[in-house]
Chains A and B, each alone.
Chain A
């Protein structure tokens, strides 16, 4: 392995662990990040000269810990922290592989604490858990770097000042807090997945980070169905990334996608994770729906009845209008457009999705399939006016054009 490859691998597997261990032992987030960064900088100097150490992450942990130790020793006012570092477990205990995974979990739960604003949770997770730089995160979220830096400073300050504990929550808080962690990872993914164009390519990195985080969580909490479900869901959705946009950046619907371009390896990994789940929570159900698509060799062979049933279960767990709309689509496929339109009419009546282009877009598709071209056209035009991004507007315009001229 080249030094560069070794560094990349050590960064991927080591960053969060080293930062988390240093936070636990020093209680100082900035110190932990800076010393971890210093250790990687040191590695880029030493490894090309002396060779890659046998246990790269252990090597980095030692360097980072010594650096933290030095800095705390110099800061005489922080004598109490020094004691904690000295009492920290020996390097061999903390560094090797997954022997002590708890620190990373602690880090994730703390970064996603509900007392932090959502944007702070997201930023902190990317910075301290994923190890992205402030500049990278700022570019991904399309905000100026100083804005992102301020967000991170505020979040870290609140952790310290408000006394947010660095720990895995006790059992009675576990379920609620875990869903908060999963929500942040899912948000990272959807932020990245929405990107379809070349100039958005950087945002693709968000999907990769989200998948990586979900895999780490699945390793650390192998018995939590929702954790496995989230990882499976992300992998299954991501398996279609190359097929959902054509060479000109146009949206290709699930129905029209070239299924040979789906990532079979990602699908396989997702299905294997899903097979290990027991309870059917929201992420597990969504992953099962994604599997139905992945398992169908052609669009026509999709098991829409099963998908409609799964959306029904999901709707009972999460009273979300978007879930209700997806259920209408599935029912429209399983039982015919009229049945789908009945559900769409209910949603229209509730007013829950007013102003969202998806509702008229779904309605238009159902009307088109019924052969009601004029009504479909009106709904497509309504959706077009509400759609926020260009690929979606183009897609809706093409659909309208396919209906032919008004009668």
Chain B
């Protein structure tokens, strides 16, 4: 089964340079390991939400606004596409992501049968 894994966290979290470096190193290791195992197909980090642009089309009129679609305490900061046997395996993979210890990981199965 395919899952989209949202990596969410407070992008304004005040981390020291050492803490940031540690998370980055751990994340790189997680990416390497999960990819080698075959459970991670792809993924990437995203730029901060202040770079986001939201687009809506209503009655033929295009509405373009600055910012994310919703203001939330935690923001999506990256994503990974997983290919797992079932939710238990996806949970295990998600739980081992370094951001799980400071933010939230949301697992969403792909649409479809």
Which residues of A does B touch, CB under 8 Å? Answer: 113, 115, 161-165, 169, 173
Contacts and interface: CB of A to CB of B under 8 A. Distances in A.
B86 interface: yes
A163 B91 contact: no
A169 B109 contact: no
Contacts, number: 24
Nearest to A113: B87
B1 interface: yes
A161 B90 CA distance: 13
B23 to A, nearest CB: 25
A113 B1 CA distance: 18
A113, A162, A163, A165: most-surrounded residue (chain B CB, <10 A): A163
Contacts of A169: 88
Contacts of B85: 163, 165
B34 interface: no
B109 A173 contact: no
B84 interface: yes
A34 B40 CA distance: 38
Contacts of A173: 88
Contact of A161 (B84, B88, B109): B109
Interface of B: 1, 3, 84-88, 90-91, 107, 109
Nearest to B108: A162
B109 A165 contact: no
Contacts of B109: 161-163
24 contacts: A113-B87, A115-B87, A115-B91, A161-B109, A162-B87, A162-B107, A162-B109, A163-B1, A163-B3, A163-B84, A163-B85, A163-B86, A163-B87, A163-B90, A163-B109, A164-B86, A164-B87, A164-B88, A165-B85, A165-B86, A165-B87, A165-B88, A169-B88, A173-B88
A107 to B, nearest CB: 16
Given A161-B109, A163-B109, A165-B87, 17 more contacts: A113-B87, A115-B87, A162-B87, A162-B107, A162-B109, A163-B1, A163-B3, A163-B84, A163-B86, A163-B87, A163-B90, A164-B86, A164-B87, A164-B88, A165-B86, A165-B88, A173-B88
B92 to A, nearest CB: 8
